[in-house]
Homo-oligomer: A and B are copies of this chain.
Amino acid sequence: MKQEIAFIQSEELKVKPKADSLGFGKYYSDYMFVMDYHSEKGWYEPRITPYEQLILDPAAMVFHYGQAIFEGLKAYKTADGTIQLFRPEKNMKRFNESCDRLCIPQIDENFLLKAIKELILIEKDWIPEGDGTSLYIRPFIFATEPYLGVRPSHQYKLLVILSPVGAYYGDQLSPVKIYVEEQYVRAVIGGVGHVKTAGNYAASMKAQEVAEAKGFAQILWLDAKENKYVEEVGSMNIFFKIKGEVVTPKLNGSILSGVTRDSVIQLLKHWNIPVREEKISIEEVFAAHERGDLEEVFGSGTAAVISPVGELNWNDRSIEINHQKIGQLSQRVYDEITGIQLGKKEDPFNWIIKVAQV
């Protein structure tokens, strides 16, 4: 795409929230990126505009037939003021994979990344600098055509909004209690679980609510066919360290291919720690614990980076992992990835894309 990105100046800027009150996804910056699609024109009118309300027809297809996809990545500010992104090209690629599965027209990945960089440069003062904070970037696309027949929409809107965020699970890397879900399922092979579409998250809320009422922070999903094999957690992939070896469920078509997951695997290989992607049953996990071999369990995702699991509850059986303390490897992986993201550690994999020096 060779188009120029128009810029519409805001008349008034917001007061920025304090770094210690950020939470996740509550505040939005002053500007957003917008681009529209019409089947006769392709993607058109890319523009950076003030963050503003959208105007939509009540028959807009997103409300009825749910064509909606999104991505999530972060911009970080290093100690010397460099703004950097972590593997954003992976998010652009996955965005297009989501487009493909949901019959949404493809986007130009390079162009969108360029637009995101421009937006971030304008909004550079919105990148918070406290520990564990960052500027969350949310690109999303949804169907806008007013039409009630079931078929792919002919019109879409793509937006990128920015939200300054604190650490997802609060300040501390503290182990969470996880409930292994047996009744509800998140996704099945042949469905849409491997892409980031809105409906996946709506479908997951019921189980999450039930688990929270029982005192658990998150759900561990099992496969939908046999209710047997571990898939992933809420919005994280999952890793088990068993007798010095690390195992994570193999991507099978119903698991989201996390950018953090891929980074963890690469890091472990780099460190010569054995890591395998394979089918792993929840029974095996519990058996490993019984044998005293289950050393660590942790989730991986953009929001929390690494989230240690302190307890797993399956079928009324509860197991405690590493005495509810953060495992050594979980901590090492967390320190390494956040270190690279914040420019405190070397980046041997060229994961970092610098946006600008401010």
Contacts and interface: CB of A to CB of B under 8 A. Distances in A.
Interface residues of A, number: 68
A173 interface: no
Nearest to A160: B58
A138 interface: yes
Nearest to A212: B151
Interface in A112-148: 136, 138, 140, 142, 146-148
Contacts of A148: 24-26, 136, 138, 163
Interface in A164-217: 183-192, 197-206, 208-209
Nearest to A224: B188
A24 B149 contact: yes
A313 interface: no
A57 B53 contact: yes
Interface string A197-241: 111111111101100000000000000110100000011000000
A67 interface: yes
A160 to B, nearest CB: 9
A54 B56 contact: yes
Given A25-B149, A185-B188, A224-B188, A66 B197 contact: yes
Interface string A221-263: 0001101000000110000000000000000000000000000
B67 A205 contact: yes
A25 B61 CA distance: 11
Contacts of A186: 191
A51 interface: yes
A55 interface: yes
A6 to B, nearest CB: 17
A161 B148 CA distance: 10
Contact of A190 (B64, B67, B149, B185): B185
Nearest to A234: B150
A53 B205 CA distance: 29
Contacts of A191: 184-188, 191, 203, 224
B201 A25 contact: no
A79 to B, nearest CB: 27
A56 B53 contact: yes
Contacts of A136: 148
Nearest to A204: B150
A75 interface: no
Nearest to A203: B192
A234 to B, nearest CB: 7
B150 A209 contact: no
B150 A198 contact: no
A63 interface: yes
Interface of A: 23-26, 28, 32, 51-60, 62-68, 70, 101-103, 136, 138, 140, 142, 146-152, 159, 161, 163, 183-192, 197-206, 208-209, 224-225, 227, 234-235
5 contacts: A53-B58, A59-B161, A136-B148, A188-B225, A198-B199
